[in-house]
């Protein structure tokens, strides 16, 4: 299960960075593209954060003393 969550985390963060760049580099006249890219970047951010937090709290990844 952790491998699937890790894959979701990587894909989500990749989408965040890719669509975030597209949102920032869109021209001023292209507001539709800017808004769409910003929304997709936000979705990538939130799913990436949720997946990262799920991985960070996973008991199988905790170091045992």
| In contact, 2 and 54? CB cutoff 8 Å | no
Question: Residue 1 is encoded by which pair of tokens?
Answer: 């299960």
- Mean pLDDT along residues 35-55: 96
- Judge whether residue 53 has pLDDT over 80: yes
The interaxial angle of helices 31-56 and 2-25, nearest 10 deg, is 150
- Mean pLDDT along residues 31-38: 92
| In contact, 48 and 16? CB cutoff 8 Å | yes
User: Given this model, what pLDDT does residue 64 score?
Assistant: 58
- Mean pLDDT along residues 7-24: 95
What is the spatial distance between Cα 29 and Cα 38, in angstroms, rounded to a whole number? 15
Q: How confident is the model over 56-65, as pLDDT tens digits?
A: 888 776 665 5
User: Given this model, what pLDDT does residue 22 score?
Assistant: 93
pTM of the model: 0.82
- What is the domain count for the chain? 1
Give the domain range for residue 37.
2-61
């Amino acid at each position: 299960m952790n491998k699937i969550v890790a894959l979701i985390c990587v894909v989500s963060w990749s989408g965040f960075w890719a669509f975030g760049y597209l949102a920032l580099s869109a021209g001023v006249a292209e507001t539709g593209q800017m808004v769409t890219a910003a929304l997709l970047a936000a979705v990538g951010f939130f799913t990436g954060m949720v997946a990262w937090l799920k991985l960070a709290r996973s008991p199988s990844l905790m170091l045992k003393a």
